Chain A
Amino acid sequence: MTDLTELSLAEVGDLIRARKVSSVEVVKANLKRIAAWQGYTNAFIDVRGDEALKQARALDRDLSRGIVRGVLHGVPLAHKDMYYRAGKISTCGSVIRKKWKADFTCTPLANLDAAGAVDLGTLNMAEWAGGPTGHNIHVGDCKNPWNPAHITGGSSSGTGAAVAARMAYGGLGSDTGGSIRLPAAACGVVGLKPTWSRVSRYGVMARAWSLDCVGPLTRTVRDCARFMRALAGHDPMDPTSSREPVPDYEGMLGAGVKGLRIGLPKNFYFDSAHPETVAAIHAALKVLEDLGAIVVPITVPDPARMFESADTLSKTEAAVIHRRWMAERPKDYSPQLFARTEAGFHIPAMRYIEAQAMRGPVIRDFVEKVFSKVDMVAATVIDHPVPTRAETDVQVSGAVPAMVGRITRPTRPFNYLALPSIAVPCGFGKAGLPISFQLAGRPFAEGRLMQAAHAYQEATDWHLRSPKMRAA
């Protein structure tokens, strides 16, 4: 019999609905895989096997009575440990919330529950979602399944590792400056940062309210589309969530890319990128051209000018969120996160408000100048080979901003712009670690981005490759 864990979310979901395999069988296969790979990756914080099996049995019973809960019926997922579930611990990757239990369930998990998903447990993450590498001194670093000496990317480190290592079919990450796309890229899976406001943030630990985006990491774009169908939409509990209708993303996938105009930035994104990263992305664009897309060299409004504004929002909001604990329990923070957040105490209120007030005009300028010429933009995600954990384990507080800035350079501007962006694997570097590109588009153009990314995956097989454990 096929190893069920090698199937995609959509494939296994279809088999469960057709009753060719039970949710219990699938959950058992996942738990076996988790037992084999947890020590290698440290992707999970808490495996909730018994509860997952109980859920699966109930969902199998439903199916036998002809009841289909939703598009994720019986499919096991696992999520970054910052999505509150009533009565369950959400550590947020921290010491301070090591035993903290929520008394309500967040909207993203409630939406997935309603769609019939099974919850396998909680996943590793950067402390308070505040680091782009996957280091965590409290729960242990998350390790890249392709080579555990290398970073997973962060802050949704466990989701990247678990999905790549076939421990779960998909999972939630969150993206404030790249925290979905970076681990997706480092681990070789798909990661979608939706438009800010597309998915409710109610009951989700905040890193920086005005930048945080909830989104999925999956193996394929089809999986991502199905996941988003269950996840997105307005939530009265989060008044900032959008009322824009949620399209049938999966139904849109087959449209192809004929005539689609993809902008290839002449400035910023490829300025300092490594040659092997540039070559892989150019090869990916050639695939899309062969499918009928038109690649258009384009100059984009300088994203470097947005970096300080994005930094102002994230640092100031994080400082407000953590002010009390940073004063009362400074030793319960890693020195790196403390250093990263500390500048927020000293940024004048004027600068914060200016950074926020500029956002509308900056978004309009970017959208009008770029998306009047092209439908989407292709860019780097991690613009160098995925570094090792040792190379990025910064111990000197003054060196933290430079390290974070270097890694998040290609991703952070799209958070300030609030635009959707999808990271898609497009090859492997000489060291055997994945390379990815991102496609970014107009507000609420997630469906169009997924169309292009899906067309690319239909023509390539990078997303089908599975990591193998290396000998110790």
Chain B
Amino acid sequence: MAKKITPELIKEQAEALHGIRLTPQRSTELAQEVEKINSGVRGVAEGILTFDDEPGAFARFLSALKG
């Protein structure tokens, strides 16, 4: 099971990947927000995605399912 995203991880990632310095309070807020998003998408994806699903395919579904 994955660990929760921590303020420290967000702070380090912001500096290392983007050159952004965050306050401790903002790191905490972002850690909570990103944790919710990350765990939400990961959880749903595990139940849905199959080997052949690809990001660009949704537009094709629109035409195939049109009313």
Contact = CB atoms under 8 A, between A and B. Distances in A.
Interface of A: 195-197, 240, 242, 244, 305-309, 311-312, 315, 323, 327, 339, 342-343, 345-348, 351, 353-364, 367-368, 371, 375, 397-398, 401, 418, 441-445, 448
Interface in B35-59: 36-38, 40-42, 44-45, 48-50, 53-59
Given A360-B53, A364-B65, A327 B29 contact: no
B45 A196 contact: no
Nearest to A363: B61
Contacts of A197: 59, 62
Listed from nearest, the 9 A-B pairs whose CB atoms lie closest are A308-B40, A442-B67, A445-B67, A356-B55, A359-B58, A398-B29, A443-B62, A354-B45, A360-B57
B7 to A, nearest CB: 11
Q: By DSSP majority rule, is chain A's interface helix, strand, loop, or mixed?
A: helix
A151 to B, nearest CB: 23
B49 A354 contact: yes
A343 B33 contact: yes
Contacts, number: 127
A364 B40 CA distance: 20
B35 to A, nearest CB: 10
Contacts of A242: 59, 62-63
25 contacts: A240-B59, A242-B59, A242-B62, A306-B44, A315-B37, A327-B20, A343-B33, A343-B34, A347-B34, A348-B38, A351-B41, A357-B54, A358-B45, A358-B48, A359-B61, A364-B61, A367-B65, A398-B29, A398-B32, A401-B33, A442-B65, A443-B62, A443-B66, A444-B62, A444-B67
Given A346-B14, A358-B48, A351 B42 contact: yes
B10 A346 contact: yes
A206 to B, nearest CB: 17
Contacts of A441: 67
A364 B50 CA distance: 14
A252 B45 CA distance: 39
Contacts of A353: 55
Contact of B19 (A306, A327, A343, A448): A327
Contact of A351 (B14, B38, B63): B38
B18 interface: yes
B25 to A, nearest CB: 8
Nearest to B18: A345
Given A343-B30, A371-B65, 11 more contacts: A312-B37, A327-B18, A343-B37, A346-B14, A354-B45, A355-B41, A359-B58, A364-B65, A443-B62, A445-B66, A445-B67
A362 B63 contact: no
Contacts of B50: 361
Contacts of B20: 327, 345
Contacts of B63: 242, 244, 443-444
Contacts of A311: 37
Contact of B44 (A195, A309, A418): A309
A305 B44 contact: yes
A397 B58 contact: no
Contact of A360 (B13, B60, B67): B60
A356 B59 CA distance: 11
A196 B40 contact: no
A347 B37 contact: yes
B67 to A, nearest CB: 3
